[in-house]
A and B are shown apart, each in its own frame.
Chain A
Amino acid sequence: MSGRIHTKTVSPQDRIKGFDPYVSNLDERMALYEAARCLMCYDAPCMSGCPTRINIPEFIYRIKTGNYYGSAKVIRGSNIFGGECGYVCPVERLCESKCVRNNLNEEPVAISMLQRFAYEKEKPKGLVKFGRAPPKKRKVAIVGAGPAGLSAAYELARMGYGVTVCDSNPRPGGLMLYGILPWKAAWSVAESEIDNIKRCGVKVVAKKKIADVKSLLKDYDAVFIGTGTTESLGLGIPGEDLTGVYLAQDFLFGVARSLKREGKAPDLKGKRVAVIGGGDTAVDAACASLRLGAERVYLVYRRSLTEMPAVPYGRNQAKEEGVEFLLLTAPVRIKGAKKVEGLECVKMELTAPDASGRRGVKPIKGSEFLLDVDAVIVAIGQKPDEGVLKSFGVKLEKGLIVVNENGATSAKGVYAGGDTVNGGETVVEAVAEGKKAAAAIDKYLSGGR
C-alpha cells in the first residue's frame, strides 16, 4: 500500500493575501484511494481518539464502497458537527494519532480529510436528519449556542424535549463562527450544521444574554450552560493597557466580525506584531496578523518547540507563511508612551522536568533585549467570564463550573459542558460534553423527579 494522499495547498505567499481555505479537499479519486488505506481495524483505536466516538472504520468503509451519504450518516449519528470537526479537529493528537498505520511506520490514514469529503458529498443532498421522538412536555433551556450547547440542544430535541438556545452574539455558533477563521473552516460548514439542528426543532434566540439561571428554571425543567470562554488571560506585565495591545480572543473575534461586516478589524497593515503564547490560538492570531497585512510577525514563546501545545501542522503552516518563532523568550514589559513602541523580552532556559514531566523555564540573567514591534497580541489562554458564571449560582473552581461525570452542576437541574467546564478544549470535546449532558438531562427529566 502506498502512502497517504496529500492534496494541494495554496503557496504561503498567495494564501496570506486573504482568509480563504488553502488546503484542497480530496476529490473522489483521491478519497477512494485514501479510504483504501484504512485497514478497518477491529475495535479501532482511532475511535478511542475521538471524544464523540465516531465509528471511523465504518464511515471510511462506506466511502470506499461509494456509499457517501451513508458515510455522512455514520459521522453525523455520533457528532452533529461532524463536518466542522472534519475541518477543525487537531487530529494529529486525536484520532489520527491512534491510527494503526502509525505502527507500520507510515503516516496515519487522513481521517479528517475523508470526513471533509463525506461532508462535502452530504451537503448538496441536505444534511442527514434523524427522526424525532414524539414531543414531550418538558422544556430545556440552553445558555450559549456554541458547539456544546447546540450539541446538547440537538440531542434533547431529538428526544422530544422543547429546546430553546440563547446566545449573546448576533448569531449562534460561538467560537465556530467567531473564533475560528475561514482558512481553517469555511463558516458555511458550521452554519449548515446549525441550520440542520434548527430544522430538528431547536429554537435559537440570538443577542440574548442570560444572567439568571434560577429564573430560567421557572419556565424550563432543566438548563444547560455552555457559555464557553470569552475572556483572554492577561500577562500581568507593565504596559498591557497601551494602545496596540490586544487580547487574542478579542482580536480573533474582531477579525471575524470584520469579515462578516459586523465590525472593524484591528489595523495591522505594515505593523510589526508580537504574538505571545504557544497554543493553537497564538498560532491563529499570528497567521491572522499576516493576513491583515502585518510586515513582520513574531511568535514569542517561553518554552521550546517540544513543549509547545500548538499542533505541529498548524505551526509548520505558520512558519511557512513567515511567522518568526522566538522560542525560549518571555516578555518582560511592553514599552511605549501611549502606543506600543516595543516589547522588552528576556531569553529563557529550560529547567529539569517537574512532577508532571513538563519542563519549566527560568530567565537567563542579562539576556534582556528589545523587540521592535508596534502591536502585541496576548494569547496565553482563555477563561470564562467569571462575573457571568457567578450569576449562575453554581459551584465554581478556578474560575470554571464544576460538574460531575454526567455534566451535572451543583444546582439541581442545571448542567454544563464545553470550554466553560474544561477551560478551553476543542470543538469535538464540547460536542461530546453536550451529548453527555443531554443524556443525563433526559435521565433526570424522565425518572429523576
Chain B
Amino acid sequence: MVSKPDITVKFCKLDLENPFLLSSAPPTCTGEMIMHAFEEGWAGAVTKTIKPDKTPVYDLDNRFGIMGLEDKQMILFENIEEVSKRSVGTWVKEIKEVKKKFPGKILIGSLMAEPKDEDWETLARTISEAGVDMLELNLGCPHGMPERGMGAFCGQRPELIDRLTKAAKRGSSVPVMVKLTPNVTDIALMAQTAEKAGADAISAINTVLGLIGINIDTFEPMPTVDGKSTFGGMSGPGVKPIGQRCVAQIAQATNIPVSGIGGVATWRDAVEYLLVGANNVQVCTAVMWRGYRIVADMIDGLTNYLSDKGFSSVKDIAGKTLPKLTAWGKLNKDYEVVATIDKDLCIKCGLCYVACRDGGYQAIKFEQGKAAEVDEEKCDACALCTLVCPVPNCTTWKRVKK
C-alpha cells in the first residue's frame, strides 16, 4: 500500500485542497451558505453571480423542474432562475467574512453585467479587491439574462467574449476565469477567444438550453409560472456527456486550465472530467439534490481510487484520456470483433434478440427457455445486445480477422 495519494490541485497558482468546488448557483447564495459548505469539506466555491446594483433581477415562482425516472431518480434538472439579487455591498462584506474565517479555502467571485466595458471593469475591480482569490465571468447563463444582453448572449459572440474578458482583466487584481455556454456551435473557438483575450482559465459548461417537459393535462410547459414558461437551463446527470465533450474540446484547443462542470455528482464523475483534461470540477445540481455532505464521499472515493490504481496524486491522471480522443476518420477500420453470449450467464430474457432483430442485424438466435446465440456471420458488432443485456459480462467480444 502506497502512502495516501495527494488530491491537492494547483489551479492558476491557487492551491486547492481537493479538486471539488461549488459552482455559481443556489448553494452559494450567501456567505453563510458558502461557509457551511467549507465546513463540510469543499475546497472552494464560486459565488452566485454578482451583478451591478443598477441591474434589476427577479425571482420567479416556480423556477425549477426535473426529468426523472421512477422513484425520483433525477436525470435532468432545469432552472429559470436569474443571478444573485443581492447588492454588491452585501457581497463585498460577506466575501471579506468568508475569507477571514476560511483563508485556506478558494473563493471565486462570479460576475455578470451588461456588455459595457466600464461596468465589467468596475465590478471586477470591486469584487477582486474585496478579497476573492479569482473571478469567474458568467458568459453562459442561457435564460432570462440573455434577453437583456447578458449571460449566454455574450458567450455566443466571440467579439463580446474578447472585449469583456479584456475589460475584466483590466479591473481585476486576481486571475480571471471565463465560464462558457455549451449553446454554441464551436465551444473551442469561444475558449480560444477568451484565452487570447487574457483569460487565466476556462470553466465549462454552463447549463444547456432546453424545455424540461409539458404537462399534458394542462398543456402548460414546465416549470410553470402562472401558466406559462420559458426555455431554461438543463443540468444534472443528463448533461454530463455534453460537459465532458466540451471540456475535452477546450482542453485540446487551449493551454489554460479548465474547471469542469456539468453533471458531476460523484467522485467517479469527477475522475472522468479529470481524465479529459479538467483541472478541477464544479458541482451544483447534486448538492441541491442531496446537500453539501456529498463531498465527503467525493474526497474519500477519489483518494481510494487513486490509491487502488497506484497513483500518487491527481496530477497522474490529468488529461490521461485526451490522447485517446481522436477524429472519427482516424479510428481503426480494420479492427473487427463479434459478440459472444455466455450460455451460463444468459437469463433467457430475449432482450438482445428483439433488439438485434428490430434495431440491428438479425444476428441473434433465440428460443424460449434456451440461451441466446450469436450468428457470427451476421453480427456487425454494433454493441446493442451488450447494452440492453441486464446481466453484467454476459456479452463479451471476440476479435476476428477481417
Contact = CB atoms under 8 A, between A and B. Distances in A.
A242 interface: no
Contact of A42 (B70, B350, B391): B350
Most B Cβ at <10 Å: residue of A29, A35, A103: A103
Contacts of B350: 41-44
A48 B368 CA distance: 10
A45 B348 contact: yes
Contact of B348 (A35, A40, A103): A103
Given A36-B69, A36-B70, A42 B354 contact: yes
A45 B368 contact: yes
Contacts of A32: 70
Nearest to A32: B70
A29 B68 CA distance: 13
Nearest to B372: A42
Interface string B315-354: 0000000000000000000000000000000011111011
Interface in B343-402: 347-351, 353-354, 366, 368-369, 390-391
Contacts, number: 39
A114 B350 CA distance: 22
B71 A104 contact: no
A100 interface: yes
A338 to B, nearest CB: 59
A33 interface: yes
A41 B70 contact: no
B351 A33 contact: no
A355 to B, nearest CB: 26
A315 B368 CA distance: 32
Contacts of A44: 350
A103 B350 CA distance: 13
Taking chain B's interface residues, is the majority helix, strand, or loop, or is none over half, making it mixed? loop
Dominant secondary structure at the A interface: helix
Nearest to B350: A42
Nearest to A39: B349
Contacts of A42: 349-351, 353-354, 366
Interface string A36-69: 1001111111001000000000000000000000
Interface in A101-155: 103-104
Contacts of A45: 348, 368-369
Interface in A1-34: 1-2, 29, 32-33
A43 B369 CA distance: 10
B71 A33 contact: yes
A40 B351 contact: yes
A41 B71 CA distance: 22
Interface string B51-92: 000000000000000000111000000000000000000000
A398 to B, nearest CB: 33
Contacts of B348: 41, 45, 100, 103
Nearest to A105: B347
Given A32-B70, A36-B69, A42-B366, A104 B390 contact: yes
Nearest to A100: B349
Contact of B351 (A1, A41, A48): A41
B347 A104 contact: yes
B391 to A, nearest CB: 7
Contacts of B390: 1, 39, 104
Contacts of A104: 347, 390-391
Contacts of A1: 390
Contacts of B353: 42
A100 B347 contact: yes
A114 to B, nearest CB: 13
Nearest to B388: A39
A267 B224 CA distance: 62
A33 B70 contact: yes
Nearest to A103: B347
Nearest to B354: A42
Contacts of B366: 42-43
Interface of A: 1-2, 29, 32-33, 35-36, 39-45, 48, 100, 103-104
6 contacts: A32-B70, A36-B70, A41-B348, A43-B350, A43-B366, A104-B390
Minimum-distance CB pairs A-B, first 8: A42-B350, A103-B347, A41-B349, A42-B354, A33-B70, A100-B349, A36-B70, A43-B368
Interface of B: 69-71, 347-351, 353-354, 366, 368-369, 390-391
Given A42-B349, A45-B369, A100-B349, 16 more contacts: A2-B71, A32-B70, A35-B70, A36-B69, A39-B349, A41-B348, A41-B350, A41-B351, A42-B354, A42-B366, A43-B368, A44-B350, A48-B368, A100-B348, A103-B347, A104-B390
